Homo-oligomer: A and B are copies of this chain.
Amino acid sequence: MQLKTIYELIEEDLTEVGGQFKLLINDKDNTFPELRRMLSQILITGKIVRPALTLLAGKFYDYNFEKLLPMATASELLHIATLVHDDAIDKSSIRRGRPTINKIWGIDKAIILGDYLFAKAGESAAATGNLRVVRLFAQTLETISKGELKQSFSAFNSEQTFDQYLQRISGKTASLFAMAAESGAVLSKAPEESVQILKRYGFNLGIAFQIIDDVLDFVGVEEEMGKPVGSDLVQGTITLPSLMLLELYPKDNPVKRQFQNEGNKQENITEAIELVVNSGIVDKCYRIALDYCTRARQGFERLPNNSSRQALLKLTEYVVERKK
């Protein structure tokens, strides 16, 4: 399953999001050289799942590209802004195969650039002229930052439950996927029932996406992912694979040792990765992710049967098949 195939229906319009990024990078009247250098470093399009969700969710009723484009752009800008702050907090050096803002310019400038990107995302959301969508945007930033704050307060704590994990990834990932889909539906004047189906789709797809992300942090190939493997354990973040590992081996456990600052760090992580791969945990995680994909598809039979519906269904297959 290739993303390119799934995006076929919106391919041209999706390119316009990259076009919006170029406008921001080249906006000489409202920026200055150092800011433009930072923007051209960070405003590259990755999987652009979030803008794709907005556009595809907007394809069921009144496809209004003039409103959908700024919102699709806002979804990706909001995502990138949170990544800039995340990387600053985690002191990450690499993202999408490129050095991070904090790596090149330092944490201080990363904080301010993130704020700038929040502002541009907010302006883009406001450019839809739709107050419901603007409110949704602000609420989503609230939810994301609460999720990040919770994650930060629970770092290096190995006493966590599956529910707490779910709550955290709901906040930091699923809420933004839900916003992307819901806003697309709202802006295309979808009836409320369809808005709710697409919102739920986005939310559950986001959960599945994040679970796979967390699995790939154990079993992914560094070169493909563009960031180092095992980084969650280094940051002290418990994810689904490490939760299961703690449950499977409650007494002696490399995750526990790592969180209690015992043993050799690199060895702990290598051991944790080996255990996750050889214990059936990966399969279990995939089954849970697939379950969330099933939930994502709930109610889809009540949406107009068109090629956008097909694309969104295929996307639920892609998120669990992807290798990066």
State the A residues within 8 Å of B (CB): 30-32, 34-35, 82, 85, 88-89, 107-109, 111-116, 118-120, 122-123, 125-127, 129, 131, 134-135, 137-139, 141-142, 144-146, 148-150, 152-153
Contacts and interface: CB of A to CB of B under 8 A. Distances in A.
Contacts of A113: 145, 149
9 contacts: A30-B146, A31-B146, A85-B112, A89-B108, A111-B111, A115-B145, A122-B122, A131-B131, A134-B134
A115 to B, nearest CB: 4
A229 to B, nearest CB: 22
Nearest to A82: B115
Contacts of A135: 123, 126-127
A122 B138 contact: yes
B88 A111 contact: yes
A88 B107 CA distance: 10
A194 B19 CA distance: 38
A82 B115 CA distance: 9
Given A85-B111, A122-B141, 18 more contacts: A30-B146, A34-B153, A35-B146, A89-B111, A108-B152, A112-B149, A115-B144, A116-B142, A116-B146, A116-B149, A118-B118, A119-B142, A119-B144, A120-B142, A122-B122, A123-B142, A126-B134, A131-B134
- Counted per complex, copies of this chain come to 2
Nearest to A123: B138
A118 B111 CA distance: 13
B131 A145 contact: no
B35 A112 contact: no
Contacts of A129: 131
B138 A126 contact: yes
Nearest to A116: B145
Nearest to A150: B32
Contacts of A34: 149, 153
B85 A115 contact: yes
A32 B114 CA distance: 24
A149 B109 contact: yes
Nearest to A130: B131
A152 B113 CA distance: 11
A79 to B, nearest CB: 13
Nearest to A127: B135
A152 B112 contact: yes
A31 B108 CA distance: 27
Contacts of A118: 115, 118, 141
A159 to B, nearest CB: 16
